[in-house]
Amino acid sequence: MEFKIIENTLERIKVSVKIAKRRLAIDPNTHVDTQDVTDFLGREGIEFTNCVGETVLDNYSDNPRLEGEWTFNKRVPKVKRKIDVAIAKENTSTTTNTTKKRRRKTSTPQENQFLGTENME
């Protein structure tokens, strides 16, 4: 198996994978899917969010697919601007807490439903 990073920009990552063709029955069966590529990116220390384009490779089917590309979106850090921070401060200062604690009403002694009107205490 040959993993190769084709494109590594701020927004996305493209990985190309090639596997060897089986020529003899004793050659190993090889299967590559998205989990194998994510493991490769983890070993390389590259962070990503999700897979946008994927394929499945194998060398043991009738029509083997031996090459493929995977595309992942990268984690883009959010840049806070001074304006955004100022707006957030204004919004938090104008909102008020509208939740109130409610007190339970004290109830009168319960009546015993089975025995009539005797009070339970």
57 and 67 in contact (C-beta within 8 Å)? yes
Q: What is the mean pLDDT of residues 85-103?
A: 62
Nearest to 16, CA basis, from 37, 31, 30, 35: 37
pLDDT at residue 74, as a whole number: 87
Nearest to 15, CA basis, from 65, 76, 39: 39
Q: Tens digit of pLDDT for each residue in 3-28?
A: 999 999 988 999 999 999 999 989 99
Q: What is the mean pLDDT of residues 72-77?
A: 81
Q: Which pLDDT band, with edges at 50, 70 and 90, does 110 fall under?
A: low
Q: Which pLDDT band, with edges at 50, 70 and 90, does 75 fall under?
A: confident
Domain-wise residue ranges, the chain: 2-73
pLDDT > 70 fraction of the chain, expressed in percent and rounded: 62
Q: What is the mean pLDDT of residues 59-78?
A: 88
Can you read off the two tokens belonging to residue 103?
Answer: 């007190």
110 and 120 in contact (C-beta within 8 Å)? yes
What is 74-95 written as a DSSP string? PP-PPPPPHHHHHHHHHHHHH-
Q: How far does the chain reach from its first CA to its final CA, in angstroms?
A: 79
Its pTM stands at: 0.60
Q: Tens digit of pLDDT for each residue in 34-46?
A: 999 999 999 999 9
Angle among Cα 48, 51, 54 to the nearest 5 degrees reads 140
